[in-house]
Amino acid sequence: MLNRSLKILYIAHRIPYPPNKGDKIRSFNEIKHLSSSHNVDLVCLADNADDLKYKSNLQKYCRRVFVQHFKVSQAKLRGLVSLIKGKTISVGYFYSKKIQQVIDQWLSDTDYDAIICFSSPMAEYLFQSPFLSHCFSKFPQSPPSIALAQARQAGATCNL
Say if residue 151 is in the same domain as residue 83: no
The CA-CA-CA angle for residues 150, 38, 40, to 5°, reads 80
| Structural domain of 20 | 7-129
Residue 91 belongs to a domain: yes
Say if residue 43 is in the same domain as residue 103: yes
Specify whether the CB–CB gap between 10 and 41 falls below 8 A.
yes
Residue 1 belongs to a domain: no
Task: Tell me the pTM.
Answer: 0.83
Residue 105: CB atoms within 10 Å: 12
Q: What are phi and psi of 153, to 5 degrees?
A: -65, -30
Residue 2 belongs to a domain: no
Residue 136 belongs to a domain: yes
pLDDT in tens, 49-79: 999 999 999 999 999 999 999 999 999 999 9
Side chain identity, residue 121: P
User: pLDDT > 70: what percent of the chain?
Assistant: 81
How confident is the model over 94-114, as a mean pLDDT? 95
CA 40 to CA 153: how far, in whole Å? 26
Indicate whether 133 pLDDT > 90. Answer: no
- Average pLDDT value over all residues in the chain: 87
How confident is the model over 93-121, as a mean pLDDT? 94
Say if residue 81 is in the same domain as residue 41: yes
Residue 69 belongs to a domain: yes
SS3 156: coil
CA 146 to CA 130: how far, in whole Å? 19
Say if residue 138 is in the same domain as residue 152: yes
Say if residue 159 is in the same domain as residue 123: no
pLDDT band at 4 (very low <50, low <70, confident <90, very high): confident
User: pLDDT > 90: what percent of the chain?
Assistant: 74
Could you tell me the CA-to-CA distances from 29 to 13, 25, 56 in Å, in that order?
15, 6, 16
CA 93 to CA 73: how far, in whole Å? 10
Specify whether the CB–CB gap between 45 and 77 falls below 8 A.
no
Say if residue 33 is in the same domain as residue 112: yes
pLDDT in tens, 6-52: 999 999 999 999 999 999 999 999 999 999 999 999 999 999 999 99
pLDDT value of residue 132: 79
Say if residue 153 is in the same domain as residue 124: no
Provide the 8-state DSSP code for 108.
H
Name the residue with higher pLDDT: 49 or 131.
49
Say if residue 66 is in the same domain as residue 142: no
Domain count, the chain: 2
Count, residues in the chain: 160
